[in-house]
Amino acid sequence: MRDEAAFRAFVEENGATLLHAARLLTGDHQRGEDLVQTVLTKVYLKWGRIDAPLAYARRALVTAQIDASRRRWWGERPTETLPETAGADGLAPAEDRDQLRRLLAELNPRERVVVVLRYYCDLSEQEAAATLNMPVGTVKSTCSRALARLRVELTAGGAGQ
């Protein structure tokens, strides 16, 4: 039997964090919401059997995003402007969030996942490696490459403004 109250508490406590991570992983607000909904469904179905729900949810986010990125999608296309208002959720101004999303979208899916897990989800290299089921060295090198690419893009974008 599932503990409905515990699951609700988990969603209330971690839902916003999972949603923000999903938005960063997908590069899109709506796809991020869809991804979180999919993941929370999986978490709910296994609720009584998982020991670390947040770790399971993070891994499910990554897996679901990788699976989705492998499928070719011909439906909706993201637009250049996002509907968020500046600072409505207590985060950085909308322009900064938009720039971060655009920069992350330039990374390949593996680099994006590593950067989001390391710096948004604040996982150590070992935790990220365990979540992604890859060697720690691969996480380190992927993260290093991704950060170098982000620095180049940020510098190139800042020089033109």
| pLDDT tens per residue across span 65-116 | 888 777 655 555 666 765 555 444 555 566 777 888 888 888 999 999 999 9
> Which two structure tokens, joined as six digits, stand for 6?
């515990």
Q: Quick: pLDDT tens for 13-58.
A: 999 999 999 999 888 889 899 999 999 999 999 998 999 999 999 9
Neighbours of 57 (CB within 10 A): 24
**Per-residue DSSP letters for 54-102?**
HHHHHHHHHHHHHHHHHS---S----SS--PPTTTTSSS-HHHHHHHHH
Q: Looking at per-residue confidence, does 154 or 143 come out higher?
A: 143
Residue 114: alpha-carbon gap to chain centroid = 9
Polymer length in residues for the chain? 161
**pTM for the structure as a whole:** 0.56
Q: Which of 2-6, 93-97, 121-125, 144-148 shows the lowest mean pLDDT across its residues?
A: 93-97
Q: pLDDT value at position 75?
A: 58
The Cα diameter of the chain in Å comes to 58
Q: Looking at per-residue confidence, does 86 or 153 come out higher?
A: 153
User: Cα separation of 60 and 14, whole Å?
Assistant: 14
Structural domains in the chain, sorted by start:
1-72 (1.10.1740), 93-161 (1.10.10.10)
Neighbours of 65 (CB within 10 A): 25
Residue 56: alpha-carbon gap to chain centroid = 14
